[in-house]
Amino acid sequence: MSENVNHTGVVERIADGIVYVRIIQQSACGVCEARKMCITSESKKKIVEVPDNTGRYQINEEVELCGRSSMGLEAVVIAFVLPMIILIGTVATGSAIHWKETTSGLVAILLLVPYYGILYLFRERLKKKFVFTLRKLN
């Protein structure tokens, strides 16, 4: 899975060797012809931090943001799959040892606090793992 995922964006600002690129993340409906009349189509503006010390980019310049598609899969596992495993595993364990459903659910949710706390502590390491690159558009 070595394909790249590319997004077009605009350089929002540059500071301390970091280029902040604004992209518009669209839902799957984003390319649909009927999206203007549909209530469910949505798009969100996101700012992506890209380390770059080359000085090749200017503010308001249109660029292409490139990342490995495998990064998306890893991000989904970290953000959604592992927490779901924690939730389901805790509820199942609580049921097996005859806890009340509310107790099992509450403990499962409370176990997510240290999980996300650990992710927060390792955010710098994760930033190094999930690195995007920039390419000038012609």
Query: What local confidence, expressed as pLDDT, does residue 35 receive?
Result: 57
What's the half-sphere exposure (Cβ side, CA atoms, 13 Å) at 32?
15
Residue 108: predicted pLDDT: 96
The residue-averaged pLDDT of 94-115 equals 96
Q: Please report, as a single letter, which amino acid is at residue 82.
A: L
The architecture in CATH of the region 4-31+38-136 reads Beta Barrel (2.40)
What pLDDT, on the 0 to 100 scale, is given for residue 1? 45
pLDDT higher for 95 or 128?
Answer: 95
Residue 92: per-residue pLDDT? 96
- Measured in residues, the chain has a length of 138
Question: What integer best gives the mean pLDDT of the chain?
Answer: 86
12 versus 31: which is more confidently predicted?
Answer: 12
Question: What pLDDT, in 10s, does the model give residues 14-61?
Answer: 998 899 999 887 665 655 665 565 555 566 788 989 998 888 999 999
Provide the b/e sequence for 112-132 (b: ≥16 CB within 10 Å): eeeeeeeeeeeeeeeeeeeeb
